[in-house]
Amino acid sequence: MIDLLPPNLPYFASIALLLIGLYAMISKRNLIKKIMGLNIFSTSVLLFLIAMGYREGGAPPIEAEGVTHYVNPLPHALVLTGIVVALALTSFALILIINIYKEHKTLDSEKLKNL
Amino acid sequence: MNLSLHYPILVIVILFAGAYLTLLLGLLNKKICYYLAVLFSFVSALFSIGLLLLVLENNTISYYVGGWEPPYGIELTVDPLSAFMSLIVAIIGFLVAVFSKNYIEHEIPLEKHPAYYSLLQLIIGGMQGALMTGDLFNLFVMTEIFSISGYALVAIAQKKGSLLASFRYLLLASIGTTFILFSTGFIYMLTGSLNMEDISNLLPLIDNPWVMYSGLVLLIIGFAIKSALFPLHTWLPDAHSIAPSPVSVLLSALVIKIGAYSIIRVVYTVFGERLSGGFEIIGVPLSWMASMAILVGSLYAIFQTDIKRMLAYSSIAHVGYILLGVSLASTLSLTGGIFHMLNHALGKACLFFCAGAVIYKTGKRNISDYAGLSSKMPITMAAFTIAASSLMGIPPASGFMSKFYLGLGAYQENWFFLAVILIGSLFGGIYFFRVLATAYFSSEKALYVDTKGPELPLSMLIPIVILAIASLTFGILEDVPVTLIEQAVELLLTK
* B182-221 residues touching A, CB cutoff 8 A: 182, 184-185, 188-189, 194
For B178, the closest of A31, A45, A115 (CB atoms) is A45
C-beta atoms of A25 and B175 within 8 A: yes
Answer with the residue of higher pLDDT: B421 or B205: B421
Q: Which pLDDT does position B43 carry in this prediction?
A: 92
pLDDT, tens digit, 9 for 90 and up, residues B216-268: 888 999 999 998 888 888 888 888 888 888 999 999 989 999 999 999 988 88
Instruction: Kindly determine whether residue A82 and residue B181, on different chains, have CB atoms separated by under 8 Å.
Output: yes
Distance, in angstroms, between A59 CA and closest chain B CA?
A: 19
CA-based nearest distance A101→chain B, Å: 10
Tell me which residue in B167, B174, B178 faces A31 most closely, judged by beta carbons. Answer: B167
Q: Could you tell me if B312 and B355 are in contact, meaning their C-beta atoms sit under 8 angstroms apart?
A: no
CA dihedral B191→B194→B195→B196, nearest 10 degrees, is 70
Q: Which residues contact residue A98 at a Cβ distance below 8 angstroms, ignoring those fewer than 6 apart? A: none
* B178 neighbourhood in chain A, CB within 8 Å: 41-42, 45
B443-458 mean pLDDT: 67
Q: Which residues of B touch A82 (CB under 8 A)?
A: 181
Q: Contacts of residue A101 in chain B, CB cutoff 8 Å?
A: none
The CATH-assigned architecture of domain A2-113 is: Orthogonal Bundle (1.10)
Q: In 3D, which of B342, B431, B366, B101 has the Cα closest to residue B244?
A: B101
**The three-state (H, E, C) secondary structure of chain A, written as one string:** CHHHCHHHHHHHHHHHHHHHHHHHHHHCCEHHHHHHHHHHHHHHHHHHHHHHHCCCCCECCCCCCCCCCECCCHHHHHHHHHHHHHHHHHHHHHHHHHHHHHHHCCCEHHHHHCC
pTM, 2 dp: 0.92
Nearest CB to B164; choose among A49, A92, A112: A112
ipTM, interface predicted TM-score of the complex: 0.92
Interface test with chain B among A92, A94, A107, by most B beta carbons within 10 Å: A92
**What was the pLDDT predicted at B377?**
82
Asked whether residue B449 carries a pLDDT value surpassing 60, the answer given is no
Nearest to B155 among A48, A49, A96 (CB): A96
> Choosing among B167, B177, B190, B198, which should be mutated to test the A contact, i.e. which has the most A CBs within 10 A?
B167
| Dist CA B391 CA A53 (whole Å) | 49
Under-70 pLDDT residues of chain A? 1, 115
Residue range B350-408, pLDDT digits in tens: 999 999 988 888 878 888 888 877 777 888 888 999 999 998 888 888 888 888 888 88
Closest by Cβ to B137, choosing from A18, A78, A115: A78
The ranges assigned to domains in chain A are 2-113
If we measure between CA atoms, which residue out of B107, B110, B97, B124 comes closest to residue B459? B97
Kindly state whether B239 is in contact with chain A, defined as any CB-CB distance less than 8 angstroms.
no
Residue of B nearest to A45 (CA): B182
The CA distance from B123 to the nearest CA of chain A, in Å, is 15
